[in-house]
Amino acid sequence: MSVLAVLLQAAPPPQNAWDMIVGGTLPTQIVLLTLLAFSLASWWIIFWKARVFREVRNQADRFLQQMERAQRLEDAYKAILTLPESPYGRVFRQGLNFFSELRPGALREGAAPSQGLSLTQLEALRLVLEKEEAEERDELARGISWLAVVASVSPLLGLLGTVIGVMNAFLGIATTGSSNIGAVAPGVAEALVTTVAGLFVAIPAVIAYNHFVSRLNLVTGELEGFSSEFIGTLAREGRV
């Protein structure tokens, strides 16, 4: 009788999932440890991005309140300087700084009305705003793609562990020469643990990924709308 057969006969059957994990084969434990690392990483990203988007939402509310109170661009610029850094404030400052480069002194107190922007300058201003929007989106999107990786890879890792476990179970049958369901069931149950673990890791990652992508699209849409409103404000004040 081989060593594997002796071990299979001597080992007591697992009573719960923890027994299956602790008494599992080395490949199964490697898969489970990998899934544990994925789970810890995904939850860290979830808490991190939840805090980031909550702060961005609060910053957006304060920014928009200041913008609504301002009567002119100069007033809005002074108000924004008192607020903490935010994607909305950076887009606004980038656009206003570029406008000031095109029309130096136009935003000073008591400055005489300046000539409006040409079509080429207006298009350049639009490109500057779009570039800043893209940078803000990339910054907010940082880390979210890893949730998609965890969500897609974890079930596959779980399936890999299951396949390995089933192979070991059938190998045990071939070694012992017994096809009794009592001999097969523990190995199959151990194999299925990795599939369950993979789903437990993947499901929160999928939910969080879709949620954060939705929040990201919302912020991006608001930034695009604000850029258009910024150019519209320049037009209303006769600066375009």
Q: Evaluate whether residue 8 is within a structural domain.
A: no
Q: At what angle do helices 144-176 and 26-69 cross, to 10 degrees?
A: 170
Residues of the chain with pLDDT under 50: 1-11
Full domain range(s) for residue 177: 16-236
Q: Could you tell me if residue 1 is inside a domain? A: no
Q: Confirm whether 52 is domain-assigned.
A: yes
User: Per the domain annotation, does 83 fall within a domain?
Assistant: yes
Q: Cα-Cα-Cα-Cα dihedral of 63, 68, 71, 75, to 10°? A: -10
The answer to whether position 142 is within a domain reads yes
Q: How much is the pLDDT for 161?
A: 86
Residues 233 and 73 sit within 8 Å (Cβ to Cβ): yes
Size (the chain), residues: 240
**pTM higher than 0.75, yes or no?**
yes
| pLDDT value, residue 69 | 80
Please, what sign has the CA dihedral across residues 223, 228, 229, 235?
Answer: positive
Cβ neighbours of residue 183 closer than 8 Å, sequence gap 6 or more: 8, 172, 173, 176
Asked if residue 26 belongs to a domain, the reply is yes
**Would 5 be classed as within a structural domain?**
no
Q: Which two tokens stand for residue 47?
A: 């808490």
String of b and e for 34-66 (b: at least 16 CB within 10 Å)? bbeebbebbeebbeebeebbeebeebbebbeeb
Q: What is the pLDDT of residue 33?
A: 92
Task: State the pLDDT at residue 13.
Answer: 53
Name the residue with tokens 């930034």. Answer: 223
- Number of compact structural domains in the chain: 1
